Structure 1
Amino acid sequence: MTVELLTHTVLAMTMVSWRRQGPGPGPAVVCVHGAGVSSRELLPFVEAMGELREAWSVDLPGFGHSDKPAEPLTLPALADAVAGWVAETGLERPCLLGGSFGCQVVVEVAVRHPGRVGALVLVGPTVDPHARSPMRLVGQWLRNSVRESPRMAPLNIADYRDAGLRRVLATFGISMRDRVEDKLPHVSVPALVVRGGKDRMVSQAWAEQVTRLLPRGRLAVADGLPHMVPYRDPRGLARLVAAFLEEALT
């Protein structure tokens, strides 16, 4: 694997990230993982994206190999940590790519710290306002999970073990309570919404609503794929993101 591991100190916490240097010009792509998990599921995409332009994935505080604060961080605190990490790395207005709950984190970054962000990619954005209950979310997760790669199971187990049950449940609670739809109209940068065509956690109607609420949003559907597009088709997503950035930022 050609991805290198790096550490930075942000708000008195160590945050671990992975980087692959890319040949292409323009902003780097920084991946932010979903609830309860880590960069493990995003490394195939970092590898693929790094063939085209500089690509990173960062473990949020409390997850993966990053420091574990005593209390789970709030959504604003997670966003502040990502913005602080961007400043520490010296990246100039990167494209933040969120996966699932990571979409809520990067939207929060774009609203709270607009000067740190050049563009957004929201892959499988959560949470649909019509599914804001534990039972509905569990049902969606079960329907979607049968379509995901079985190779993700050991990665998820390792992620949940690293984070601990209390932090995992707290983060899912944060995800459900967050009214991301109220923030989307305040995102000023170009944004690409990506939905897997067979995603059972993000409906087509919700993906279209997210796109409409974004002032500079556009939608792409990855036919035949479930929720975890970056893991199932990393190269296809990398091409999609590269084309979006070339068009949106030139």
Structure 2
Amino acid sequence: MQEITVAVSGRPMVAWRIAGRKPPVVCVHGAGVSSREFQPFVEVLGRRHDAWTVDLPGFGASAGPRHPLGLRALADALVEWLTAVDLDQVVLLGGSLGCQVAVDAAARHPDRIAGLVLVGPTVDPAARSFLHQLLRWMRNAPHEQASMAPLNLADYRDAGARRIVGTFAEALRDRIEDKLPHVVMPTLVVRGAQDRMVPQEWAEEVTRLLPAGRLAVVEKSGHMVPYRQAHALAGLVTDFLTHAFPAAGAGGMSGQRRSAR
């Protein structure tokens, strides 16, 4: 996996890449974590496609300003980073808060984004409060792998409490449901069947609001699908790319339950 560092707004942004077939797939991590959560998935997807995972400003190995960036500013930094690494017509694959960043970027820069994959999209309007999200996180925790704990602790250390809290508050303020109807490109919504952060009803509503959305459910997974079910997610993404972008080449998907809007 190749490490690539470029300057965005005068600060280094760090990404990792496995080169392959277009379109490029760029993974965008969630709140408080980093590209580490996507590296198992990138290693699998990179066997077929051009796969990237990037640290947003202030997270992981990427430098950030003293104050946490707002969601719109994170999306702008992502688009600026795409320019810096000479990427265009990409598929953004967001996880959790990364879905909100990807949707904001796609809604405001549709000429740069060819498609989206939204894995565990947040925040469900029915639980738009710190208490609701904390309770859902506690119910979801038993469905995640214990091996993620050291990675999460390293991510939290890198980001710092102020940035984590500020970014989480941004996630709660963001009304993703108002932006989804303006996302015109092909979009795959993915939910873990055991995800207690993203109920099935909300995943279906996200898909319904999208002009060109489809929904897939991954069995035996909680919220962190890319880490727990890297092979299953790679199969879903390969299948999505094959149908949405025929030049991406043939690919299969097996063993997963799918539902269309």
Give the TM-score band, short-chain normalised: over 0.9
Which secondary structure state, in structure 2, belongs to the residue aligned with residue 27 of structure 1?
Answer: strand
| Residue in 2 that maps onto 1:17 | 15
| Residue in 1 that maps onto 2:159 | 163
Query: Is residue 2:86 matched to residue 1:84?
Result: no
Q: String of CA shifts for 1:73-114, please: whole Å, max 9, x gaps.
A: 011110000001111111121100000000000000001111
CA-CA distance at 1:128 after TM superposition: 0.2
| Residue in 2 that maps onto 1:216 | 212
Query: Is residue 2:141 matched to residue 1:145?
Result: yes
| Residue in 2 that maps onto 1:130 | 126
Aligned residue pair count: 246
Mapping of residues 44-123 of structure 1, within 5 Å: 44-123=40-119
Which secondary structure state, in structure 1, belongs to the residue aligned with residue 30 of structure 2?
Answer: coil
CA-CA distance at 1:116 after TM superposition: 1.2
Which one of 2, 5, 12 corresponds to residue 4 of structure 1?
2
Matched letter for residue 223 of structure 1: E
Matched letter for residue 74 of structure 2: L
Give the Cα–Cα distance (whole angstroms) in 2 for the partners of residues 148 and 8 of structure 1.
33
Mapping of residues 195-210 of structure 1, within 5 Å: 195-210=191-206
Q: String of CA shifts for 1:178-233, please: whole Å, max 9, x gaps.
A: 00000000001100000000000000000000000000000000012110000001
Give the Cα–Cα distance (whole angstroms) in 2 for the partners of residues 242 and 127 of structure 1.
26
Query: Is residue 2:39 matched to residue 1:43?
Result: yes
Q: String of CA shifts for 1:7-31, please: whole Å, max 9, x gaps.
A: 0111222100000112x3x301000
Give the Cα–Cα distance (whole angstroms) in 1 for the partners of residues 196 and 189 of structure 2.
16
Give the Cα–Cα distance (whole angstroms) in 1 for the partners of residues 158 and 213 of structure 2.
35
CA-CA distance at 1:68 after TM superposition: 2.2
Q: String of CA shifts for 1:12-52, please: whole Å, max 9, x gaps.
A: 22100000112x3x301000000000011110011011011
Give the Cα–Cα distance (whole angstroms) in 1 for the partners of residues 49 and 223 of structure 2.
24
Which secondary structure state, in structure 2, belongs to the residue aligned with residue 122 of structure 1?
Answer: strand
Displaced runs of 4 or more, over 6 A:
none
CA-CA distance at 1:146 after TM superposition: 1.0
Q: Which runs of 5+ in 1 are unaligned?
A: none
| Residue in 1 that maps onto 2:253 | none
Give the Cα–Cα distance (whole angstroms) in 2 for the partners of residues 15 and 58 of structure 1.
8
Matched letter for residue 13 of structure 1: R
Matched letter for residue 167 of structure 1: R
C-alpha RMSD of the superposition? 0.8
| Residue in 2 that maps onto 1:238 | 234
Q: Which runs of 5+ in 2 are unaligned?
A: 247-261
Give the Cα–Cα distance (whole angstroms) in 2 for the partners of residues 180 and 51 of structure 1.
32
Matched letter for residue 116 of structure 1: R
Which secondary structure state, in structure 1, belongs to the residue aligned with residue 62 of structure 2?
Answer: coil
Query: Is residue 2:230 matched to residue 1:226?
Result: no
Matched letter for residue 12 of structure 2: T
Give the Cα–Cα distance (whole angstroms) in 1 for the partners of residues 130 and 88 of structure 2.
38
When normalised by structure 2's length, the TM-score is 0.93
Matched letter for residue 8 of structure 1: V
Give the Cα–Cα distance (whole angstroms) in 1 for the partners of residues 244 and 10 of structure 2.
35
Matched letter for residue 133 of structure 1: S
Which secondary structure state, in structure 1, belongs to the residue aligned with residue 116 of structure 2?
Answer: strand
